[in-house]
Structure 1
Amino acid sequence: MITFYPGPSKVYDEVGQYLQEAFDSGVISANHRSTAFMQMLEGAIGNLKTKLNVPDDYEVYFVSSATECWEIIAESLISDGSLHIYNGAFGEKWMEYTQKLTGAARSFPFETNEDPKPNAGIMPSANEVICITHNETSNGTALTSEFLNTLRAQSDNIIAVDATSSMAGVILPWESADIWYGSVQKCFGLPAGMGVMIVSPKAVELAIAIGNRSHYNSLLFIRDNFLKFQTPYTPNTLGIYLMGRVMQQVAPIKTVARQTLERAQDWYSFLPENGYQLLVEYEAVRSETVMAVKDTKERIEAIKKAGLQEGIVLGNGYGEDKETSFRIANFPAISDIEIQTLKDFLVFFSSK
């Protein structure tokens, strides 16, 4: 079965080999306070920072999921409130969960085919944390680097970014935000079950000023342990091992991002040429890692069903577009052969 589901999605082919290596090494049975574990964690973080070109002074933490990061940010970094800028289901869910925890989350929604412009209405008050979704998995849109850079230039606020379906697939402007987070089951090409949180010195300063240590996953408690290459709770040891090995294996992000862009451009030409209507009509905000196709409910169901019969898993639609769209993952672990298999299927289906 070939999967193009946008998370959990295909893992790198080499992961099978790395699983055996992890077992043979004994490290997955090691105590998470042991020297062996600490060396492994240090190596995984180092490999990630090198391959993704993360600034030296930004810190990397591994947590359970991107969703857990909503809670960490709400409890450790939001004191006066937050401003959530979003155009899809995951950005909205982040806002709703933060509102439950803080009671002070403010929304700035925009449309799928709209490029948000920093203006008086979008600007936060002095201490609000700005929360944005870099790549909205639900509808196949993405914020431009220009938007992030402009927002950073116009605001001194802490900026937190959900980069779940773009981290490790495209180049991210790290210094345009203070917190970046994502899960590993998308562009990292790893099994689900771990999240990555990347934090700037400015965000660390704010966490120290707020001083929240009331939770097992308070950012300061997490940080205290990671500075020693330990974790505050028993971690996903296997996930960390696989992260280190995959980050050792992959090309630098500049190379990976070039492939992602070339494949995306090809998909965005191929789909309309073969009778498939793109959900995102405005080219400037199309995602490079998740393509969304829209059609009638009946035809979407027929395409997905036919795909399964050919051993191809397409992503369901999500949110308000759940029944009238399907999604295609454009993640680095997916091979050219698999992409061609899907293209052949789509050409055949459109000719019926």
Structure 2
Amino acid sequence: MHKKLFIPGPVDVREDVLLKMATPQIGHRTKDASALQRRISDKMRQVMYTKNEILLSTSSGSGLMEGAVRSCTAKKAAVFSVGAFGKRWYDMAVNNGVPADLYTSPLGQPTTAAMVEEALETGKYDLITVTHNETSTGIMNPVESIAAVVSKYPDVIFCLDTVSSMGGTKIEVDALGVDICITSTQKCLGLPAGMAICSISEKALKAAEKVPHRGMYFDLLALYQCIQKKDYQYPSTPSLAHMFALDYQLDNILNEGLENRYARHLAMAKTVREWAKKYFDLFVDEAYTSNTLTTVKNTREIDVSALNKALGEVGFQISNGYGDLKDKTFRIAHMADTQHETLTALLTAIEEILKLKA
């Protein structure tokens, strides 16, 4: 039995989208390949609300995260973490020999504008990384107030991880002044894992020119220069299967309507939040809860693994808490092409299995 996935990626993928991955291959150095990749970039600019260039990478989002911090840090990076995936950006910097400082919020607490202001006013940093949506804790950071602070430091490159939120909530890249905005396919965009996408500003490209050792595969400047020179063709062989599916799925997303898509995600988020408050509790302050995933505080001390096993028998799967939060929380994702009626069926199944009473 296929289990309906309510985990924070990979998500369930529509059958028609999966079938597009079986499109017969074409030469990746052909005009058809260029046209395919150009179409994707044009559509992603709409989803990201940006005029900046789009880069595609046959990798997870982590590949472009590493590429960003390595390619564009000439002096030192300030890495802000609200969970495991923000911390990963710091580990990437350290393992690439990039000077970096880590600013960590307590679990369940956001990165604040005041924290960013305090760091940037030191003048030590030329790049900042922020996690927009952290799936380990269920936090959606207040990116608008953070962006207002970063805008006062025009020489700082602003990198934003939107891997688990782009396409599920409105993120206006240019209005926020984001220089490198990173996402990937297996979450709100509703495709299988295996491709990452980022926007990159002229400011970030100029910054990269001053960095001598940017690596090779994830050298963002080299990727940019290659697609300009070779008409949207990349230096390495890309996953055309993902591109065929992404081109098709972006049409689905735009046809649904971006505002409609965001409203659907928010409605599902509100349903899960109310359900969590009725039977358990929310792990994070509701002011910072994610629109694409809810982390539920396990106030009843249920056996989350046993619950998931029972859910599997009726065709559903959720996620246990991540790392130190295992069994202390559990996570219900509500993203991509998930529909409200399927979500409510999941919640009803949990109530029946646990015999919940408010």
TM score, norm. by length of structure 2: 0.89
After TM superposition, what 4+ stretches of structure 1 lie above 6 angstroms from structure 2?
A: none
Counterpart selection for 1:260 from 245, 254, 265? 265
Q: CA RMSD in A?
A: 1.9
The within-5 A match list for 1:179-194 is: 179-194=180-195
* 1:263-297 Cα distance to aligned partner (Å, 9 max, x none): 21121112222x122222x1111111111112266
**Structure 1, 212-221 or 66-75: larger mean CA deviation:** 212-221
Where in structure 2 are the equivalents of 1:100-179 lying within 5 Å?
Answer: 100-115=95-110, 116-119=112-115, 121-123=118-120, 125-156=123-154, 157-175=156-174, 176=176, 177-179=178-180
The residue correspondences of 1:175-324 to structure 2 (distance < 5 A) are 175=174, 176=176, 177-210=178-211, 212=213, 214-227=215-228, 228-250=231-253, 251-273=256-278, 275-280=279-284, 282-295=285-298, 298-324=302-328
- Matched residue count: 342
CA 1:114/1:154 → structure 2, altered by over 3 Å: closer, same or farther? farther
Q: In the alignment, which residue of structure 2 is the partner of 1:42?
A: 38
- Residues 130 and 159 in structure 1, CA contact (< 8 A), matched pair in contact too: yes
User: Which of 35, 53, 62 in structure 1 is aligned with 2:56?
Assistant: 62
1:203 aligned counterpart, secondary structure = helix
Could you give the per-residue CA deviations for residues 95-114 of structure 1, whole angstroms, max 9, x where no partner exists? 11211212411011112343
Q: Identify the residue that residue 13 of structure 2 maps to in structure 1.
A: 11
Contact 2:188–2:336 (8 Å) recurs in 1: yes
| Pair 1:189–1:89, CA change in 2 (3 A) | same
Which SS does the other structure have where 2:103 is aligned?
strand
Question: Unpaired segments of 5 or more residues in structure 1?
Answer: none
Q: 1:41 to 1:72 in 2, by over 3 A?
A: same
8 Å contact from structure 1 (residues 7, 185) kept in 2: yes
The answer to whether the Cα contact below 8 Å between 2:66 and 2:89 also exists between their aligned partners in 1 is no
How far apart in 1 are the matches of 2:113 and 2:150? 13
Which residue type is aligned with residue 62 of structure 1?
L
Q: Which residue of 2 aligns with 1:76?
A: 71
Does the C-alpha gap of structure 1 residues 79 and 53 become closer, same or farther in structure 2, counting only changes over 3 Å?
A: closer
CA offset at residue 150 of structure 1? 2.1
Change (3 A) 1:145 1:117: closer
Amino-acid identity (%): 24
Alpha-carbon distance between aligned partners in 1 of 2:215 and 2:312, rounded to the nearest angstrom? 47
TM-score, normalised relative to structure 1: 0.91
Name the SS of the counterpart of 2:106 in structure 1.
coil
Structure 1 residue 253, shift from structure 2 partner: 2.2
